[in-house]
Structure 1
Amino acid sequence: MVSTATAQRRALFILALTVLLGASRFITENVITKSWAAGAFAVGKCGAYGQAYDYPAEAAARAAALKQCRGECTAVTMKRACAAFAVDMANPCGAHGYAVKPKISSSLNAATRKCYEYGGKECVIRAWACDAKG
């Protein structure tokens, strides 16, 4: 038979463990994820691109993406989202499209659709990226 003092110590231990696990989950989900939830996607001519994801700030992500992209590039930011870049394989220096959406599937579809809208004949996804929670 377990004494009352032993039962109280076990209950206190379980309570402390529960509080500790809850606090660590809160910190992981809210502090770490939100602080590293900025990304950017840079696109340029002839299939050039650069990507950066899970940066602490949009400006840092934008700079990193532009640094990877060759030539004149345009950068778009994504915060807790996904970006995709599609090019026309029949003419890689011609039509292209890009999109930023909350989910990867919708960004892939939108980028491909934009490429066709701009005159692409054989549009394919060249690159994609998602940042935290995207």
Structure 2
Amino acid sequence: MGASRAAQRIALTVFALTLLLGVTRFATESWAAGAFAIGKCGAYGQAYDYRAEGAAKAAALKQCQGGDCKMITMKRACAAFAIDAANPCGAHGYAVRPKISNSLNEATRECYKFGGKECVIRAWACDAKG
């Protein structure tokens, strides 16, 4: 009977750990909404790891002080925003990609593509999975 009781304890422990992993994954995925608000002259707002996309958008928009802010959403990804340091009101670029390195590189490329001369990353963020 001792071996049977030990086997039951092991099975119960494995079950509890499996349940805990499932809950942790669900919690992480449910907090995986993010947004960037990009405005004029380098203005921006960002929000990440929100429960809902609407709440992330509202939080990012509230931070964006440049007016005419464009919304960019991210879910289980990273976003980056690049501006031209020589002319912050000029060319800019942004990108949303699964990995931060890809989003940083693509945002910088987009800035140069639209005429930037000294493009730099102004802001970046990743949500729970990015």
Partner deviation per Cα, 1:21-80 (whole Å, 9 max, x = no partner): 011001111x10121111001111111111100111111101100101102211110011
Question: Residue 36 of structure 1 aligns with which residue?
Answer: 31
**Structure 1 residue corresponding to 2:116, chosen from 98, 120, 124:** 120
TM-score, length basis structure 2: 0.96
Question: Residue 81 of structure 2 aligns with which residue?
Answer: 85
Identity %: 70
Q: May I ask how many residue pairs the two structures share in their alignment?
A: 129
Segments of structure 2 that go 5 or more residues without pairing to the other structure are none
**Structure 2 residue corresponding to 1:59, chosen from 35, 50, 54:** 54
TM-score, length basis structure 1: 0.93
Letter paired with 1:82: C
**Structure 2 residue corresponding to 1:100, chosen from 96, 100, 109:** 96
RMSD, aligned α-carbons: 0.8
Runs in 1 of length 4+ with deviation above 2 angstroms? none
Segments of structure 1 that go 5 or more residues without pairing to the other structure are none
- Return the alpha-carbon distance in structure 1 between the equivalents of residues 98 and 23 of structure 2: 23
